[in-house]
Amino acid sequence: MTHVFHRDQRKAYPVAVRGEGCYLIDSHGKRYLDAAAGAAVSCLGHSDDEVIAAIEAQLRRLPYAVTSFFTNQPAEELADLLASDAPEGLDRVWFALDGSEAVESALKLARQWAIETGQPQRRRIVSRRQSYHGNTLGALAAGGNAFRRAPYEPLLVPMHHVSPCYAYREQMADESEQAYGERLARELETEIERLGGATVLAFIAETVAGATLGSACPVPGYFRRVREICNRHGVLLILDEVMCGLGRTGHLHACIAEDVVPDLLCLAKGLGAGYQPMGAVLVRRRVWEPVTQGSGAFQHGHTFMGHAAACAGALAVQRAIRSRSLVQAVRERGKSLEERLRTRFGAHPHVGDIRGRGLLWTLELVRERATKEPFAPDATLHARVKAEAMLRGLTCYPMPGCADGRRGDHVLLAPPYVISEPQLDELVDKLAPAIDAAIVQALTVERSGMDAE
Ligand SMILES: Cc1ncc(COP(=O)(O)O)c(C=O)c1O
C-alpha cells in the first residue's frame, strides 16, 4: 500500500526511475518517449549534464538563503538574463516556484499597483472561458474551465469570463480571421464597459492556450486589439505564458509573435525545465515603479521564492536555450512535427482539428468531423488515449473538456526542444495506434450506453 496521496487514488502508477534525453524509464526498464515533456516542462530532456552540474555546484556553495534577508547570485544573474531579452520594459523579475504561484503573484501585484497609483476602485479581473491559469484558489478563479472549477466554485472569488480565441469551434464559417478577432475584442471591451471600465484591474489570458483548450492560437491582430482596449480603459494586461513561453512556440516569448507587450508576463514550466521547480513574473516598469516609489514593497512572498539552487538550475536552462539556439530548433522541429501530424491524421475520421505552433501541438478528437460533435464525456476518450499511449511507451497529454468545459477530448503534444527527427517518427508511429485503439473502446462504450437506454 502506498502512503503517497496520488492524484488518482485508484490507479497504480509506474515508478519513474531514470531520465535519458527524451525518454523516461520506469522501474521495469520500460522506456517512454516523453512527447509531452511531462506537462510541457522538460524542454531540455531529462539528463542535461550542464544543468545538473550547475545545480550541484550551487548546492555545494549555498542551497538556500531566505529572500527576506538576502539575495543570491544565481537569482540576480537569472533576473539579469530574463530582463535582457524580454520584450521592452519587462525588466523586473518576481520569482515563484510554479505556474500557479506566478499567476497568484501577478494578480496580487496588479491589485497593489492599483492601490499605489491611487485607483483602489480597480478590483475586477476579466479572463477567458476554457482557460487554465493554475489550481490555487486565485488562479483557479481566473481560469475558465468549468470542470476544474465546479467543486471549488463556492470558494472562488468572482471573476468575469469572456470568449477564448478558439477558431475551430467559434469562428463562423463566413467570418475572416480578422473579423473573428475583432468580434472577440469587441466582446472584451463590452464586458469591461459593462463592469465599469474604471473598476477593472486586469485582463488575463494565455497567449497560446495550454492544457484546457489545447494549443489554440490567437488569430492575427487579436492581441493587438486586446492591448489597445486595455490601454484605453487603464486595465493591466497579464499574459500567462507558463506553458507556451520560453521557446515552446518558436519565440522566446509567445507574445513576441503577437507584437504586444503585456504588463505582467507569467512564466514557469520551461523556466527550470523540470530540473528544479521554478516560476517567475516579468514585470513592466509602469507596474513596479509605482510600488518602488510608493509603499516600497510588494506585500507578498513565499518561503522558497528565489531559491538559490532552483535559480542556478533555471539559469543554466535559460543559458542553454539561448547558447544552443534551441528556439530556432523548436521552429524547425515544430515544422517537422506539424508535417507528420497532418500527413498521419489530416484525413483521420476522428481528428477534427490539428492546431499549434512551434513544439506545442494538439489533435482535437471528435465523433464526427462534419458536425464536430465530441465524444460523450462518459466514454473518457482522453483517459483511454493516455493509457494506450503509455502501453506503447509514449507519454502525451490528453485532456477532456475543450469543447465546452465538459465535452471534447484533445491530445496535447509538447516534446522536448531537443527531440530528433527519428524520435518524431517514433512519436507519431506510437500515437496513431494509441488513438485508434482508444477510439474503438470509446465507440464501444458509447454504443453500450445507447443499447442500455
Ligand atoms: C497556462 C498555465 N498557467 C498556469 C499553470 C499552473 O502551473 P503549475 O501547475 O505549475 O502551478 C499551468 C499548468 O499547466 C498552465 O498551463
Measured between alpha carbons, how far apart are the two ends of the chain, in Å? 39
Quick one: which atom of ligand 1 is closest to the CA of 100? Answer: 11
- Residue 451 scores a pLDDT above 90: no
- Cα–Cα distance for residue pair 128/143, rounded to 1 Å: 7
- Residue 147 scores a pLDDT above 90: no
Ligand 1 in reach of 191 Cβ (< 6 A): no
- Residue 37 scores a pLDDT above 70: yes
Q: What is the mean pLDDT of residues 354-378?
A: 97
- Residue 405 scores a pLDDT above 90: no
CB contact set of 159 (below 8 Å; sequence gap of 6+)? 124, 125, 126, 127, 141, 142
Q: If you take atom 14 of ligand 1, which residue's CA is the nearest one?
A: 211
Q: What is the mean pLDDT of residues 303-320?
A: 98
Question: What local confidence, expressed as pLDDT, does residue 126 receive?
Answer: 98
User: Worst-scoring range by mean pLDDT, 102-116, 299-313, 438-452?
Assistant: 438-452
- Residue 449 scores a pLDDT above 90: no
Q: Is the dihedral of CA 41, 243, 173, 381 positive or negative?
A: positive
Name which of 442, 257, 256, 416 is nearest 321 in CA terms. Answer: 416
Classify 216 as helix, strand or coil. Answer: coil
Residue 368 is given by DSSP the state: B
- Cα–Cα distance for residue pair 79/73, rounded to 1 Å: 10
Question: What local confidence, expressed as pLDDT, does residue 448 receive?
Answer: 87
Ligand 1 in reach of 97 Cβ (< 6 A): no
Q: What is the mean pLDDT of the chain?
A: 97
**What is the percentage of the chain residues whose pLDDT exceeds 70?**
100
Ligand 1 pocket mutation pick from 241, 269, 271, 402 by most atoms within 8 angstroms of CB: 269
Q: Is the dihedral of CA 298, 58, 240, 245 positive or negative?
A: positive
C-alpha cell, 240: 500567462
Q: If you take atom 3 of ligand 1, which residue's CA is the nearest one?
A: 133
Helix runs in 123-282, H state only: 137-142, 146-149, 167-170, 177-195, 222-233, 254-258
E strands, 285-384, are: 351-357, 360-365
E strands, 270-421, are: 279-284, 351-357, 360-365, 394-395, 397-400, 409-413
Residue 452 is given by DSSP the state: H
Question: What local confidence, expressed as pLDDT, does residue 146 receive?
Answer: 87
Phi and psi angles of residue 6, each rounded to the nearest 5 degrees, phi first: -70, 160
- Cα–Cα distance for residue pair 269/360, rounded to 1 Å: 13
pLDDT tens, position by position, 211-262: 999 999 999 999 999 999 999 999 999 999 999 999 999 999 999 999 999 9
Question: What local confidence, expressed as pLDDT, does residue 452 receive?
Answer: 66
Phi and psi angles of residue 154, each rounded to the nearest 5 degrees, phi first: -65, -20
- Cα–Cα distance for residue pair 23/16, rounded to 1 Å: 10
CB contact set of 166 (below 8 Å; sequence gap of 6+)? 130, 209, 213, 216
Ligand 1 in reach of 103 Cβ (< 6 A): yes
